[in-house]
A and B are shown apart, each in its own frame.
Chain A
């Protein structure tokens, strides 16, 4: 427990609850994400990782709890709300339309208009700029349909789509799950580059290699509860695995519902 950060974190989640019918997906979840850091969100399958990021990105609305963005409590009900705050999400399936080209996908839902018509020239210029900024240079043409791209190319288009909106937080859902070793390394490099540009990254991953390779902080969900959250340096592989599989360190209890305690340190 080193110095508590004086600065207000970019994103602060407090006491989040979400259920689907009888299934309690999230229970009293807290989360802090400082500016310019990469937070890895880990947990076993069904731990609630995806539900949590969907609550932050406006796909789901939580039943209870508070989301504080740059110090202000906010309500995020739709993807538009989160986008307006500067939160962009790259989903595991990338959410790209195969029949549309790269430019059309990058601007989907936020097309630029001129005289009420699509301003294709302007959109193409901006898309090319963003791709160049991320050093994604060798797609043959940014006017080719996304369906004709390779897996790695699709991932880079999805990331470029997320960062081109002056976003402050990029959420990535298992960005490396479908990729091979080389492409995984390239995506992790892309994550570091986002951080270098001052963005915060919230990355779901239960691949510990990826987590320890890029994350500044680690948070672990277990059965819908946040059981651990701290700087990466305070964890080792063994402890993360234990949190993921048993919800605690060397204990046999089933998690620590209202005590985010042992390893979590909140600034307030």
Chain B
């Protein structure tokens, strides 16, 4: 396997004397590292903000750009659509909240897909697995039939999704079938299941969430409910305060004990950025966005997205299980030899993928105000993959974060929303989204190529 293998026989080698006395005590296997320098994340070597910025620029030049492209893309989308949308309506409070709500489904679905992508796999079925969970919940809360409480309906829906994930994951990991095919079959199968479940009850295939019955309202409010402006400020202050304090304490503790830590300026900049985003979001959401009457406050959907983001970021970055997902995505053989139970870790990842898709499905049903056969799951899953990749998650496994799905979902939602405002037909929305995806994959492939030069690859 090794290209420089000396060959079958040792007889052709020169005498050993030249290596018998190596330079003693100078074991430094690090001679040839200059070329790799730009690829080192700047926040782990920089001692000051100046060094950090310098390192960051080098890194982008070296093709390792992190989340920069997606953030630039978001800025571009905002500028372009604000400039060309009729009456510059794009940045109006009503439209921004609408954009968040439209994007929420893509964001959560993209976070679901991230579990598969991190393993270097793909899950094409979630476009219908999520809606299957949703239709189960919508059917169960119908007052005229089962009349379940909303929380029980949600639990059953999410458990059903998790079981679907377990079934598909087992086929993929235990029978070693390709995930592409298994989940492609799943896309078809659960489209069928969706239609069957839709047909139950006296709703002609259109169970809705409209009505004043509390269980219907609860599901409907996942997307359309909101907290009042004062609560919004309090919750935002608590979240930003807790995250900021946590970040500050961790970074300063690491700096004190001489561990690798970002410069003080960067920590402060991060906290400042979080606070600005938090304040901006709450301020915009608290503007009255109703044409008549009052409609203000942060939608629950934002907190649901943040909750999923927080939970999965914690799982992926702070727990042993998350570490194993990255290890398997980076080098499955190394993971296996390290004693990691690769099969179960991968199976559970598919369970989490489908489970999260169930959350996205519930948001989707709430957005639509019910369920119908008018669900384009194929398009949903492609948008989910696109959102994750646009956000910076690699299709080749091992690189990506939950937050990438959120940012990519915003990009997809922004394009979707902006094109709609322009009155452009849906075909243009497809074409633009496709072009953005090509751009994102190109960046991914290029940075990957840059990342493995000089190393043995995997």
Instruction: Give bound CA distance, A93 to B45, whole Å.
Output: 28
Say if the beta carbon of B11 comes within 8 Å of chain A.
yes
Tell me if A177 and B335 are in contact (CB < 8 A): no
Which residues of chain A are near B33, meaning CB under 8 Å?
Answer: 138-140, 149-150, 153
A190 in contact (CB, < 8 A): yes
Inter-chain contacts of A150 with B (CB < 8 A): 29-33, 36, 454-455
Question: Is B259 within 8 A of A124, CB to CB?
Answer: yes
Interface size classification for chain A: 35 or more
Q: Does A249 contact B (CB under 8 A)?
A: no
Within 8 A of B (CB), among A128-165: 134-156
Per-residue interface assignment for chain B, residues 433 to 448, with 1 indicating a CB less than 8 Å from any chain A CB and 0 otherwise: 0000000000000000
A78 touches B339 (CB 8 A): yes
**With contacts A139-B30, A141-B40 known, is A95 near B16, CB below 8 A?**
no
A93-B456, A97-B331, A99-B398 known; A134 vs B27 contact (CB < 8 Å): yes
Identify which of B2, B39, B260, B323 contacts A143 (C-beta below 8 A): B260
Give chain B nearest CB distance to A219 CB in angstroms. Answer: 15
A168: Cβ under 8 A from any B Cβ: no
Q: Which of B8, B23, B40, B338 has its CB near the most chain A CB atoms (within 10 A)? A: B338
CA A177 – CA B5 in complex, angstroms?
6
Binary B-proximity of A23-48 (CB < 8 A = 1, otherwise 0): 00000000000000000000011000
A241:B9 contact, CB within 8 angstroms:
yes
Tell which of B8, B16, B27 touches A136, judged by Cβ atoms closer than 8 Å: B27
B residues neighboring A (CB under 8 Å): 1-6, 8-11, 13-16, 18-20, 22-33, 36-37, 39-41, 44-45, 253-254, 257, 259-260, 318-320, 323, 326-327, 329-331, 333-335, 337-340, 398-399, 451-452, 454-458
Known pairs A153-B33, A187-B29 / 9 extra A-B pairs, C-beta < 8 Å: A95-B337, A95-B338, A108-B340, A121-B254, A148-B455, A149-B36, A181-B18, A190-B27, A207-B13
Inter-chain contact B9/A91, CB cutoff 8 Å: no
Given A116-B319, A144-B40, A208-B10, are A95 and B331 neighbors across the interface (CB < 8 Å)? yes
A110: chain B residues at CB < 8 Å are: 338-339
| A209-B41 in contact given A96-B331, A98-B452, A150-B454 (Cβ < 8 Å) | no
Query: When the two chains form their complex, are residues B9 and A143 in contact, meaning their CB atoms are under 8 A apart?
Result: no
**A residues within 8 A CB of B457?**
98
Q: Does A125 touch B at the CB level, under 8 Å?
A: yes
Q: Please tell me if A267 contacts chain B, counting CB pairs below 8 Å.
A: no
Chain B residues positioned under 8 Å from A140 (CB to CB): 33, 37, 40, 45
For A115, the closest partner residue in chain B by CB is B318
15 contacts between A and B (CB under 8 A): A95-B338, A97-B458, A109-B335, A118-B318, A118-B319, A135-B27, A136-B28, A138-B28, A139-B33, A140-B45, A145-B39, A148-B455, A149-B36, A185-B19, A209-B14
Q: Which residues of A contact B339 (CB under 8 A)?
A: 78-80, 83, 109-110
- Residues of chain B with a CB closer than 8 A to A136's CB: 27-30
Partner among B14, B22, B326, B398 whose Cβ is within 8 Å of the Cβ of A186: B22
* Complex: chain B residue closest to A79, CB-CB: B339
